């Protein structure tokens, strides 16, 4: 079962999380395979790492709304997206338009000419008119303009720039599991901020001994270990000398909110002329969900009923079924 473990290091300004996405991640890949739209292996790895990272980041900020992690650029992967809701329901997809080398890493996937970007968007639930989501954007290179080859390095850089918090992130994914370990230095909060210590968040960057020690331990975790060892074994091997306070594990899950009703609304917005043009050319309208791969088919009768006012439809119409 998919699981998220949150923990604190007693007496130290350090927190951690470990996520393992199993059946939810496998469901994503299964639906893609069934739809005949399976991604190349390096893209599947990137999507799995993004799903794990999205769950970690959403749980870290406890945000009431959707956290959307996007990587886009000028490589064969034009866009990859992971969306995680406040209840840790996640979905993930990618737009691949070119050939993907078997050994492609992040630069070769999305940052071939250095124009790749990573964006994190927080979209509040029940957003009022005029309210805009918050978005932070970071380039896919380090301080010396060197291309970053791992998503984990990009997100560590993002957290350092946006929150002034040291973060260590280990990510890994294969066709069975998407997993991640996050270690982060805690900010000064509460009374500390009232006493004017808030800037110590920035002053502590890179020099907090407790964080540096624990981050060094976390960095010894290999991708293979993250993918093959259970959560108990990982935490025991890494932090057996530390006083770790564990919390009740949470259960992330795959979920896609696509529906025939939503697709019907999209087709209505497209317009009757455009829909009829597709029918003339193809004899049907088929729409596939970019996130879960589910196909929605509208034959000529279904398409006609889309543009008939509800009051004029015959009883028992199946226009949206």
Give the model's pLDDT for residue 108: 94
Cα Rg of the chain, angstroms: 22
Give the model's pLDDT for residue 188: 60
Q: d(Cα 109, Cα 101) in Å, to the nearest integer? A: 9
Give the model's pLDDT for residue 197: 42
Give the model's pLDDT for residue 168: 96
Give the model's pLDDT for residue 202: 56
Strand order of the sheet with strand 65-72?
Answer: 134-139, 117-124, 65-72, 77-84, 89-96, 253-254
Instruction: Provide the 8-state DSSP code for 146.
Output: P
List phi, psi (to 5°) of 152.
Answer: -60, -40
Supply the pTM of this predicted model.
0.82
Give the model's pLDDT for residue 204: 66
Give the model's pLDDT for residue 239: 95
- Residue reference for tokens 């009232």: 194
Provide the residue-wise pLDDT of the chain in tens; the chain has 321 residues. Answer: 899 999 999 999 999 999 999 999 999 998 888 877 789 999 999 999 999 999 999 998 878 889 999 999 999 999 999 999 999 999 999 989 889 999 999 999 999 988 899 999 998 887 777 777 888 999 998 888 899 999 999 999 999 888 788 999 999 999 999 999 999 998 765 433 333 344 455 556 767 899 999 999 999 999 999 999 999 999 999 999 999 999 999 999 998 777 778 778 878 887 888 888 888 888 887 777 777 767 778 888 887 888 876 544 444 444 333
Give the model's pLDDT for residue 206: 67
Give the model's pLDDT for residue 302: 83
Give the model's pLDDT for residue 198: 44
Q: d(Cα 44, Cα 30) in Å, to the nearest integer? A: 12
């Amino acid at each position: 079962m998919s699981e998220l473990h949150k923990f604190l290091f007693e007496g130290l300004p350090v927190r951690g999380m470990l996520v393992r996405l199993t059946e939810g991640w496998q469901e994503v890949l299964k639906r893609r395979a069934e739809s005949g739209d399976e991604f190349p292996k390096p893209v599947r790895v990137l999507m799995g790492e993004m799903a794990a990272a999205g769950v970690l980041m959403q749980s870290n900020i406890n945000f009431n709304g959707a956290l959307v992690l996007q990587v886009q650029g000028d490589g064969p992967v034009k866009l990859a997206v992971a969306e995680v809701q406040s209840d840790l329901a996640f979905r993930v997809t990618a737009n691949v338009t070119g050939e993907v080398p078997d050994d492609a890493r992040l630069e070769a996937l999305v940052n071939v000419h250095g124009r790749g970007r990573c964006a994190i968007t927080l979209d509040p639930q029940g957003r009022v008119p005029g309210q805009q989501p918050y978005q932070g954007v970071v380039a896919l290179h380090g301080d010396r303009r060197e291309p970053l080859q791992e998503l984990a390095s990009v997100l560590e850089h993002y957290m350092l720039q946006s929150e002034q918090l040291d973060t260590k992130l280990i990510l890994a994914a294969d066709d069975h599991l998407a997993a991640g370990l996050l270690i982060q230095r805690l900010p000064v909060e509460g009374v500390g901020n009232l006493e004017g210590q808030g800037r110590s968040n920035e002053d502590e960057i890179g020099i907090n001994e407790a964080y540096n020690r624990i981050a060094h331990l976390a960095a010894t975790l290999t991708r293979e270990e993250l993918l093959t060892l259970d959560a108990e074994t990982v935490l025991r091997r890494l932090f057996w000398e530390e006083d770790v306070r564990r919390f009740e594990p949470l259960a992330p899950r795959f979920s896609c909110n696509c529906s025939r009703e939503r697709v019907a609304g999209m087709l209505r917005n497209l317009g009757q002329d455009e829909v009829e043009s597709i029918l003339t050319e193809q004899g049907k309208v088929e729409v596939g969900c970019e996130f879960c791969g589910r196909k929605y088919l509208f034959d000529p009768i279904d398409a006609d009923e889309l543009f008939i006012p509800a009051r004029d439809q015959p009883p028992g119409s199946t226009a949206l079924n």
